[in-house]
Amino acid sequence: MQVKVRLVADVNPTEDTGKVQNAILNLVGVGAVVENRVEAGRLTLVCEGEGLENLRRLRSVLESQRIRDASRMVFDRSVRGDRITVAFNRQAALAGKVSFSESPGDSALGPIWVEIETDDPYGLIDWLAPPPGKRRLRAQST
């Protein structure tokens, strides 16, 4: 499965850039590279990568928080063609948790936008947040 991942977060003038960067890294893993970019006069942090490895941390957090079913619903609603676009609360991400932002106003500091481009969006959703039947099969086979 081909996967390209892009995370974007604006940095507000009152924010610590390092904390925003850590929030992003908590979603994708410590090995990712976060770039500082100035877009339209605003500092924006961008993290891009290819492959499922960039989503393993997110997958693990969804499992540990036991929010795979809710996540599947959000991901399903967020598919547009070959892309899945979701927003995460950056304060929750900084704490190593996942909380979806349904609208930009849900997160006081603004969300972390995650765009995933893939040749199989629904297959990727099944991998990120397996449905209950597939979870039991995996548990029995491991």
CATH, residue 69: 3.30.1440.10
Listed in order, strand segments (DSSP E) in 58-127 are 79-80, 83-89, 111-118
Give, for 97, the enclosing helix (H) or strand (E). none
The number of domains in the chain is 1
Which two three-digit tokens encode residue 123? Answer: 């297959």
137 occurs within a structural domain? no
What's the mean pLDDT in 56-63? 94
pLDDT exceeding 70 applies to what percent of the chain? 89
Q: Is the pLDDT assigned to residue 140 strictly greater than 60?
A: no
138 occurs within a structural domain? no
CB atoms within 10 A of CB 82: 13
* pLDDT on residue 135: 47
Three-state secondary-structure class, residue 46:
strand
Q: Is the pLDDT assigned to residue 139 strictly greater than 50?
A: no
Banded model confidence at residue 39, pLDDT cuts 50, 70, 90: confident
Could you tell me the residue range of the domain that residue 28 belongs to?
A: 3-131
Q: Specify whether the backbone of 110 is left (phi greater than 0), alpha (psi in -120 to 50) or beta.
A: left
83 occurs within a structural domain? yes
Contact criterion met (CB below 8 Å) for 65 and 97? yes
